[in-house]
């Protein structure tokens, strides 16, 4: 830059003579004034250095270049003018100095911004930056594009906006297009990322827009909130990736605080399966409701360590007690409940992965059914106030061992309540799939996409209900507080979603194209593998039609058949015996006999 400045100062002297005298080559006037070509660079360049022009980083050049250039060239011009007066240079027109001041300032300043533009704004065609489309040509979009121009990761290529009055306009050297042109822009400009820069948009409208965008082969990212605009935090760092739950989610119903706190505030709460996806979220939300103690009951050492470390960092005053144990150990369960004076239990411990339990039926039923029995008996014997079982929609007319074992777990609590010999209020909450839980299809698809595919779908028509983990847990806490005893609560899961559609959306959200008949040259193949052992095409939430609406709009109550307690106890003993003898046939026969609607897929 120093060398370029020196050449431009020499060029500015020549231009000044040419403009003043009206001749392109005024050699006869320049020869007597050759000393100007030595004096001006000799004065101006050291001033540029002294005033910090070369210390300013070109990429972030701003108003500094104006003030530095004006100061240095003004001082240079004044010194040259003083020399002219001292030596009475009659051959040098005085107006040349004024013209030089204007020309040299123009050249120095414009050269900076020209090089800045070439190196840092128009370079997306010569480096590895991702071509980016910004959705929203408002203030947030304009601020965002400033950050993008300084980024080494993104190169803005277009704006997209629904406002027709903005269509065709140019903001920060970037043209605004309408939404209908989006597919062509993606293809023509080879855009990889779309940044959603409308932080003031409501969640409902944002979800509708994200659904539309999920049909396009482009990765979508969003600015988190309008507060980031107010605080001046609109930058690359404030962009977050759109997750599939942003599209599948629904408008959350405001929780009833009185229900949330009823079984938790000031009480000793135990969560079994505390390190699992549902269990860990239960721990977080329970801790926020001011319990006296939180007992983390978990048989996985790593999961227990992880959730204990996370909760220990909280500033909440509750005592957190990690217990490394298994719910199939009846004596340990009872001992912990007695020692810690437990008031409320959320029983989330279970084997839930359908194919794994199907291939290990004895262990799966023993853990789920006997584990629930142990926790329920211990709760009854130690006068626990409330026990809430986390159940599943797969317990309804099950076609797999996992679902049948969870339905039998429900029967254990229903039978114990019917026996009516304790002060413990038993209830169960039944819901469908939760996003990003262990064994959920969402993390599986995400992993398959990252590895280049194929994305595996078991059947083209298979559908599932989905809910976010925080919402499911929030509803579980409220449902348990409404229980009177023996209640089967069913959460409103919304509309079921076709898994094939989910796969397509996730591929598109990753900025890739699925391989199909329309796109044989796509990026990710979607492969139909066939239903797995015990898998249903669709899930249900109710066994019968006898259901009533509770006091909460998202929670229903089902009235369903149960077993006599004597039959439950007899079945538990048979499961324990079958477990000792590794007798899978007896376990399956027992489920067929006692679980209403159980029809194994292989029968």
pLDDT of residue 471: 81
The pLDDT mean for the chain works out to 80
Of 272-286, 360-374, 542-556, the one with minimum mean pLDDT is 542-556
- SS3 at position 119: helix
pLDDT at 292 over 90: yes
pLDDT of residue 282: 92
Most confident of 34-38, 237-241, 550-554: 34-38
pTM: 0.64
Tokens of 237: 């760092």
| Phi, psi (rounded to 5 degrees) for 131 | -70, 130
| Nearest residue to 440 (alpha-carbon basis) of 461, 406, 465 | 465
Most confident of 157-166, 261-270, 443-452: 261-270
The answer to whether residues 482 and 472 touch, using CB atoms and an 8 Å cutoff, is no
Confidence tier at 324 by pLDDT (50, 70, 90): very high
Q: For 68-102, write each residue's pLDDT tens digit.
A: 777 788 888 888 777 777 766 556 677 778 888 88
- SS3 at position 191: coil
User: What are the start-end ranges of the E strands in 203-299?
Assistant: 219-222, 240-241, 268-272, 293-298
Separation of alpha carbons 364 and 358, rounded Å: 8
pLDDT of residue 386: 93
| Nearest residue to 598 (alpha-carbon basis) of 373, 365, 342 | 365
pLDDT at 568 over 60: yes
Range 130-242 has CATH code 3.40.50.720: yes
Q: For 117-173, write each residue's pLDDT tens digit.
A: 666 555 444 456 778 888 888 877 777 777 776 666 777 888 888 888 888 888 777
Q: For 390-429, write each residue's pLDDT tens digit.
A: 998 888 888 889 999 999 999 999 999 888 767 899 999 9
pLDDT at 237 over 60: no
Q: Where in the chain is the domain with CATH 3.40.50.720?
A: 130-242, 263-434+467-493+540-594
- Mean pLDDT score, 40-58: 74
| Nearest residue to 61 (alpha-carbon basis) of 102, 126, 117 | 117
Q: In this predicted model, which residue has the larger pLDDT, 10 or 56? A: 10
pLDDT at 309 over 50: yes
Range 263-434+467-493+540-594 has CATH code 3.40.50.720: yes
pLDDT of residue 435: 66
Count of residues for the chain? 603
pLDDT of residue 291: 93
pLDDT of residue 374: 96
The answer to whether residues 386 and 424 touch, using CB atoms and an 8 Å cutoff, is yes
- Mean pLDDT score, 293-315: 93
- Mean pLDDT score, 12-36: 72
Cα(first)–Cα(last) distance of the chain, in Å?
81
């Amino acid at each position: 830059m120093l060398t370029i400045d020196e050449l431009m100062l020499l060029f500015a002297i020549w231009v000044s003579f040419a403009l003043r005298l009206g001749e392109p080559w005024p050699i006869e006037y320049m020869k007597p004034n050759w000393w100007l070509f030595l004096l001006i660079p000799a004065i101006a360049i050291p001033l540029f250095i002294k005033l910090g022009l070369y210390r300013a980083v070109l990429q972030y050049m701003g108003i500094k270049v104006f003030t530095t250039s004006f100061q240095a060239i003004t001082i240079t011009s004044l010194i040259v003018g003083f020399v002219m007066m001292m030596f009475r240079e009659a051959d040098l027109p005085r107006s040349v100095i004024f013209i030089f001041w204007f020309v040299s300032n123009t050249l120095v300043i414009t050269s900076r911004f020209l090089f800045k533009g070439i190196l840092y704004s128009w370079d997306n065609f010569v480096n590895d930056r991702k071509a980016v489309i910004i959705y929203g040509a408002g203030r947030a979009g304009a601020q965002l594009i400033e950050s993008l121009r300084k980024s080494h990761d993104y190169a803005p290529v277009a704006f997209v906006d629904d406002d027709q009055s903005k269509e065709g306009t140019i903001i920060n050297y970037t043209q605004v297009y309408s939404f209908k042109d989006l597919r062509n822009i993606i293809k023509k400009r080879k855009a990889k990322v779309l940044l959603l820069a409308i932080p003031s948009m409501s969640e409902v409208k944002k979800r509708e827009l994200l659904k539309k965008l999920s049909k396009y082969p482009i990765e979508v990212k969003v600015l988190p909130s309008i507060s980031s605009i107010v605080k001046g935090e609109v930058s690359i760092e404030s962009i977050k990736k759109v997750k599939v739950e942003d599209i599948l989610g629904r408008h959350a119903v405001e929780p009833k605080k009185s229900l949330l706190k009823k079984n938790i505030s000031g009480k000793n709460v135990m969560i079994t399966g505390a390190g699992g996806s549902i269990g860990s979220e239960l721990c977080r939300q329970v801790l926020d409701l001011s319990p006296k103690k939180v007992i983390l009951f978990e048989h996985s050492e790593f999961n227990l360590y992880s959730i204990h470390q996370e909760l220990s960092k909280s500033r909440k005053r509750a005592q957190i007690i990690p217990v490394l144990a298994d719910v199939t150990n009846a004596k340990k369960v009872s001992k912990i409940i007695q020692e810690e004076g437990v008031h409320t239990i959320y029983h989330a411990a279970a084997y839930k992965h359908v194919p794994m339990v199907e291939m290990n039926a004895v262990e799966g039923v023993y853990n789920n059914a006997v584990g629930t029995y142990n926790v329920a008996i211990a709760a009854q014997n130690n006068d626990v106030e409330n026990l809430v079982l986390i159940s599943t929609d797969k317990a309804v007319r099950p076609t797999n061992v996992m679902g049948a074992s969870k339905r039998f777990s429900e029967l254990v609590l229903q039978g114990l309540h019917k026996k009516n010999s304790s002060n413990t209020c038993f209830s169960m909450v039944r819901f469908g799939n939760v996003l990003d839980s262990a064994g959920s299809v969402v993390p599986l698809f995400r992993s398959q996409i990252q590895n280049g595919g194929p994305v595996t779908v078991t059947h083209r028509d298979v559908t599932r209900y989905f809910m976010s983990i925080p919402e499911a847990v929030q509803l579980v806490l409220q449902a348990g507080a409404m229980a009177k005893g023996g209640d089967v609560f069913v959460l409103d899961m919304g509309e079921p979603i076709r898994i094939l559609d989910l796969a397509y959306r996730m591929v598109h959200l990753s900025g890739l194209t699925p391989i199909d008949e329309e796109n044989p040259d796509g990026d990710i193949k979607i492969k139909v593998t066939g239903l797995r052992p015990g898998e249903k095409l669709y899930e249900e939430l109710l066994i019968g039609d006898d259901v009533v609406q509770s006091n909460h709009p998202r929670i229903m109550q089902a009235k369903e058949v149960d077993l006599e307690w004597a039959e439950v106890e007899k079945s538990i003993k048979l499961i324990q015996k079958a477990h000792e003898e590794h007798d899978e046939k007896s376990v399956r026969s027992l489920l067929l006999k006692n679980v209403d609607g159980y029809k194994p897929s292989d029968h």
